[in-house]
Amino acid sequence: MTRTTEPGRDGNRPAEIRPELAEKVLRPELPSLANDIIEAIRVKIPEYARPMDGPYGQLMRECVEQALASFVDRVADPTTSLKQRDEMARGLGQHEADEGRSLDSLQTAYRVGSRVAWQRVMDIGHRNPELTSDVMSMLADAVFEYMEELAELSFQGYREARAVTAEEQQAVRRRLLQLILNRDQPIPLRALADIATDAGWPLPDQVTAVAVQPRRNAERADPGPLAADSDVLASLDDGQPHLLIPGPSDAAREAALAARLGIRRAAIGLAVPLTDATDSLRWARQALALAEAGVIEAGQIVHCEDHLLTLWLMSDGALAEQVSRRQLGALEGLTPRQRQRLTETFGAWLETRGTAAEIAERLQVHPQTVRYRIRQLERTLGDEFGDPDARFAMEMVLRAMRLQARATRPQPPVTSGSGA
């Protein structure tokens, strides 16, 4: 197809697309076309399906109307300034970056807008026989080229907003850590990957969280920064310092961590998929608290994988207390000393299923004493004593009670290099 051209903003303009087309045919369509594009975008893209009577809806309408008006302005006068349009498109890209999203949704919105706009142009062509096939073809080119310009301008704004200096990168890394651990408001993985690229931290398939004991006032200095490794994300400014390392922990990583802990203690969570990082940190913090309370016997570094049953049993102390009252409530009428002896014997029997002689040796009592206590338990607990589900629950309760009892023991202080 041969085109005659004349100078314009981009150097050339199809002469067949006459300026009168803009005012007489295209501009009257803009209000309803803007409504159709907005509706299509909100239906096709869930991220944009927000109430239109709020600030976000107002921004969407202003941007769509600005984009359409600028297109018609260009058709009417190719030399017209599109500075306002350009700023708007760049601003949309910057807004997506600030919201922590990738450009996928915005690019999709441009494609949706292009299709709706082109469908309207085709409808206009059917209603106006004077619009030749050549003009319609040129209008199609103009519509889709225009949308490509908008997409490119938004990409520029997006990249500008995400460009960070080396000094700013640490702030981006802290933000990335917050987003990874924010289960209440998760963001799409693609958007997370974009932020991770800015942070210089490629997203791993698995991560391991580390909870660190807060520094006390008397602890003036640690040997070095806890997050010296470049692939470690860290939050050390709040009351619950924590790290996130890619993949599982290993001996070299733990040795480096121990060398920088000073006299503080740390707990290493389980290696989990990236989306479960919050769980790993929760377990690490629980293990650290249990080690501080003396429930877990550990050195300077606590490994969650070594204490899984304890973490499970101690995950809800109030609930464990309720289960204890229901399962062992029949023992409430006994004296504290009687309850202690019976629960001690019952626990040994539940855990070992051994003979009276074996349990007696473990408890340092006479076998006949064990037999007497077992018979007393049978009488006191009744049917519960022989019920498998009840026995399982009671065994878990007795284990939890022993763990809780450890918390009352005085704990030795952690010393630097005390080992894992």
Rounded to the nearest 10 degrees, the angle between the axes of helix 336-352 and helix 388-406 is 120
Q: What are the two backbone dihedrals, phi and then psi, of residue 237, each rounded to the nearest 5 degrees?
A: -95, -15
Kindly report the average pLDDT of the chain as a whole number: 80
Return the domain boundaries, the chain: 5-162, 204-313, 317-406
Most confident of 133-147, 213-227, 318-332, 347-361: 133-147
What is the pairing mode between strands 242-246 and 206-212? antiparallel
- In this model, does residue 317 exceed pLDDT 80? no
pLDDT attached to residue 39: 92
pLDDT attached to residue 305: 92
**Pick the residue with more confidence: 158 or 16?**
158
Tell me the average pLDDT across 347-358: 75
CA distance 291 to 297: 6
Helix, strand, coil % (nearest 5) of the chain?
A: 65, 5, 30
Tell me the average pLDDT across 321-333: 69
pLDDT attached to residue 324: 66
Q: Could you identify the residue written with the tokens 């690229």?
A: 197
| Percent of the chain at pLDDT exceeding 90 | 24
Which two tokens mark 308? 């899984």
CATH of 5-162, one of 1.10.3470, 3.40.50, 1.10.490, 3.30.70: 1.10.490
CA distance 313 to 178: 29
Check: CB of residue 132 under 8 Å from CB of residue 14: no
Q: What are the two backbone dihedrals, phi and then psi, of residue 271, each rounded to the nearest 5 degrees?
A: -75, 125
DSSP string, 322-339: HHHHHHSGGGGGS-HHHH
Eight-class DSSP state of 22: I
pLDDT tens, 255-294? 888 888 888 899 999 999 999 999 999 999 999 999 988 8
Query: Which region among 2-6, 73-77, 276-280 has the lowest average model confidence (pLDDT)?
Result: 2-6
Nearby residues of 240 by Cβ (< 8 Å), 6 or more positions away: 211, 214, 285
> pTM for the complete prediction?
0.51
pLDDT attached to residue 9: 41
Superfamily per CATH, domain 317-406: PucR C-terminal helix-turn-helix domain (1.10.10.2840)
pLDDT attached to residue 177: 92
Q: Could you identify the residue written with the tokens 């908008």?
A: 150
Q: Where are the alpha helices (DSSP H) in 99-243?
A: 104-127, 133-162, 166-181, 189-199
Q: What angle do CA 124, 128, 132 make, to 5 degrees?
A: 95
Check: CB of residue 394 under 8 Å from CB of residue 346: yes
